[in-house]
Chain A
Amino acid sequence: MSENKSFWQRLKSWIDGEEILIDADKYISTRERKERVSYEKAVSMERLRSNSTLYRVLCVAITVIFIAVMLRVVIDLPMFGDPNGVTVNEVGQRYLEQGIEETGAINFVAGMILDYRAFDTFGESNVLFMAVIAVLMLLQRDKKNTSAAEDQEMAEDEVFDSQDSKLILKKGAKCLAPVVILYGIYVVLNGHLSPGGGFSGGSIIGAGLILYSAANGQKKMQTFFTIKTLTRISVACLLTYCGCKSYSFFTGANHVGWEIPKGTPGAILSSGFILPLNICVGLVVACTMYGFYALFTKGEV
């Protein structure tokens, strides 16, 4: 039916859902079944594993040889803490000498990861988001992958959460969770001035959310934080990051000159895009940490 269409037309109709390029069911029913390979003979690894003593001895031998070789390498490495070693090279020295002038951040590491190497950090945030989405795909509860016993367990959990049976945890979390989250926000906002930044501060915020959720139960958490909130916050932050960095790449590479003012180094509102980028990364990390917790314990955010 699609012989006389060009490849692009077929692709377009496939994307629109009008046509199926390969009918999977038909393909599976007509394909030739391969001869089953006997694993016992084909995979020698399997035979090796079945011989448990030999396998263990080989593993230990390989690891010991590996450690010995690596220790020999360590002997030839530059000495620990040597100021003239090869690891102290011109790249790091340039970050130290001109970092404040070029990025405006007092914390050289923040200046490095969010200005000189911002693209790398963008990739990291994306990796975190992809991880939480992948875990969501694998672990989200629905009717197909839960048994009646699990459903009953969840219902019991909900009843337990709504009772006053864990009073100490609830009172403790009521006192501690706001402080923990506030501290996380402080670490994120001061990322360019002091140790910390988006990743560490985001983890602290995530820990606060986890504490609150553990004490008060999933139901109460869902009144303000659902899977929709998680994806919306993460996507908005990643898009903001992308937009900010695209702007500075574009203006910087073309020498347009509309640079973001760096401000006075040391002030809270300084160092150009580093503060908004830290906030973006912090929110993504906080959502990811809480998302992992919620998906692994309850199977839903």
Chain B
Amino acid sequence: MSHLLTNYYEAASVILFGIGFMNLLLQNNLIKKFIGLNIMDTATYLFLAAKGYVFGRVAPILTNGIIDKDYYINPIPAGLVLTGIVVSVSVTAFSLALVLRLYKHYNSLNMDEILRMMREEEGE
């Protein structure tokens, strides 16, 4: 339990990931679904950033001319978070564009309703 309290950033990110996942499963509104997906992405960034931190060290930008591996935090998670952000932005934009097209066609954002209308359309 004390471990969980020390790793509270990671614990929070896992819970946040769960919240986003639940949003993705339970929401019927497609835009709210993608908000859930974005919450999941954000949880991943929090996890990565937390794993990169080391107590008492500074951000990985040369400070006071010190070149020492024990003076800076780990730079790799920063690069990974950057990749994650770019992919998340692209996926969100693409899926929202698809949702917009669906809305223009069916005049609804409710997934169940869209599925029902699609079936009716196909059945004819």
Contact = CB atoms under 8 A, between A and B. Distances in A.
A107 interface: yes
B93 A80 contact: no
Contact of A108 (B7, B72, B82, B101): B72
Contacts of A91: 76
Interface string A235-270: 000000000000000000000000000000110000
Q: Classify the secondary structure of B's interface with A.
A: helix
Contact residue range for chain A? 35 or more
A165 interface: no
Given A75-B7, A95-B75, A128 B89 contact: yes
A292 interface: yes
A49 interface: yes
A109 interface: yes
B14 to A, nearest CB: 4
A127 B7 contact: no
Interface in B8-41: 8-11, 14-15, 17-18, 21-22, 25-26
A138 B94 CA distance: 9
B7 A80 contact: yes
A44 B72 CA distance: 53
Contact of A135 (B3, B57, B97): B97
Given A80-B7, A127-B87, A139 B100 contact: yes
Contacts of A108: 60-62, 72, 75
A226 to B, nearest CB: 20
A138 B8 contact: no
B94 A135 contact: yes
A59 B54 CA distance: 36
A199 B104 contact: no
A24 to B, nearest CB: 20
Contacts of B17: 67, 70
B72 A96 contact: yes
